[in-house]
Amino acid sequence: MNDYNFAYLDEQTKRMIRRAILKGLAVPGYQVPFASREMPMPYGWGTGGVQVSAAALTPDDTLKVIDQGADDTTNAVSIRKFFEKTAGVETTEETEKASVIQTRHRIPEAELTEDQILVYQVPIPEPLRFLEPRETETRKMHALQEYGLMHVKLYEDISQHGAIATAYAYPVKVEGRYVMDPSPIPKFDNPKMEMAAIQLFGAGREQRIYAVPPYTQVVPLDFEDYPFEAGKADHACDLCGAEDSYLDEVILDDAGNRMFVCSDTDYCRSRREAGHSGRLGEEAA
């Protein structure tokens, strides 16, 4: 028993957010304005994602929260505790068991199913923002599909770095219509966005919600002669030996030693439990 309404927000607010989510699902990639509430956490810590999660949760759901792929970092732990306290829902660290997954800047390595909802925390929902500061103008550009400017950014990348250097928040075109910021996920995750699960994006400070329905076409922008490449560190995980997962680089000492580990902690743990081991797997265990 606690004194909070289920999942913290009042029912009217949740209805308002659900309407925005439904509209977002109906117009994939379109940023739906919503009346973002004050949440008991600072902007930039996932106020948008938390509100979307609160509106999507039911008492039967199992929640998983990840921050840069990890279940055990501050942001993930405190949001998980927040919903344990205010909604009393079950929580898990295992991707397969979760029905709602709130994420900051990663898509889990395990393939998601039709029974799952992935909620992204979004800092800046407008992909054109750094090129065109005026909101009136960017809205018009979306409405009229004037997306040439997005390619100017990619052009600048190639002219300065010889390749498209944008490594995260790589702009995508959804279902051939709206250009969308996939939130700051690494571009390694972009190909995964055509998935079976529902993807919801919440930006609390910017007061926008957008969504990608299951099996929706999501195409990264690129040039004919500089096609999109999903990149990752050219290593295997030093703990579990996985060669197909996105890796974090960890500096070990001041003598140049470093290790690469899966950023998805649940994926790494389940692989190690299944008997896989990497270069430093034995020592670390």
Partner 1 sequence: MTPLLQVKNVAKMYGARIGCTDVNFDLYPGEVMGIVGESGSGKSTLLNSLAGHLPPDRGEVIFDTRTEGPVDTVTMSEPERRMLSRTDWAFVHQHARDGLRMPVSAGGNIGERLMAVGDRHYGSIRERAADWLGRVEISESRIDDRPSAFSGGMQQRLQIARNLVTGPRLVFMDEPTGGLDVSVQARLLDLLRGLVREMGLSAIIVTHDLAVVRLLADRLMVMKDGHVVETGLTDQVLDDPQHAYTQLLVSSVLQV
- H, E, C per residue of 173-192: EECCCEEECCCCCEHHHHHH
Residue 29 a catalytic site member = yes
- Strands 218-220 and 208-212, how do they pair? unpaired
CB of 226 to partner 1, least distance (A): 5
Please say which residue, 150 or 268, places its beta carbon nearer to partner 1.
150
CB of 41 to partner 1, least distance (A): 33
Please say which residue, 156 or 248, places its beta carbon nearer to partner 1.
156
CA distance 217 to 168: 19
The H-or-E segment that residue 266 falls in is helix 265-273
- Cβ-based burial of 197 (10 A; exposed 0-12, middle 13-18, buried ≥19): buried
Angle at 17 (CA atoms; ends 12, 69), nearest 5 degrees = 130
CB of 125 to partner 1, least distance (A): 21
CB of 147 to partner 1, least distance (A): 8
Residue 88 a catalytic site member = no
Residue 44 a catalytic site member = no
CB of 213 to partner 1, least distance (A): 27
The residue annotated as part of the active site, out of 48, 202, 204, 237, is 237
Please say which residue, 12 or 160, places its beta carbon nearer to partner 1.
160
Residue 237 a catalytic site member = yes
Reduced to 3 states, what is the DSSP secondary structure of residue 24?
helix
The residue annotated as part of the active site, out of 29, 49, 69, 204, is 29
Please say which residue, 164 or 261, places its beta carbon nearer to partner 1.
164
Which residue ranges make up the site for partner 1 (CB under 8 A)? 131, 144, 146, 148-149, 151-152, 155-156, 158-160, 222-226
Residue 275 a catalytic site member = no
The residue annotated as part of the active site, out of 24, 49, 69, 262, is 262
DSSP string for residues in 198-263: EEEEEETTTTEEEEE-TT--EEE--BTTB-------SS--TTT--SSS-EEEEE-STTS-EEEEES
Please say which residue, 140 or 258, places its beta carbon nearer to partner 1.
140
In angstroms, the first-to-last Cα distance of the chain is: 40
Catalytically active residues, by annotation: 29, 237, 240, 262, 268
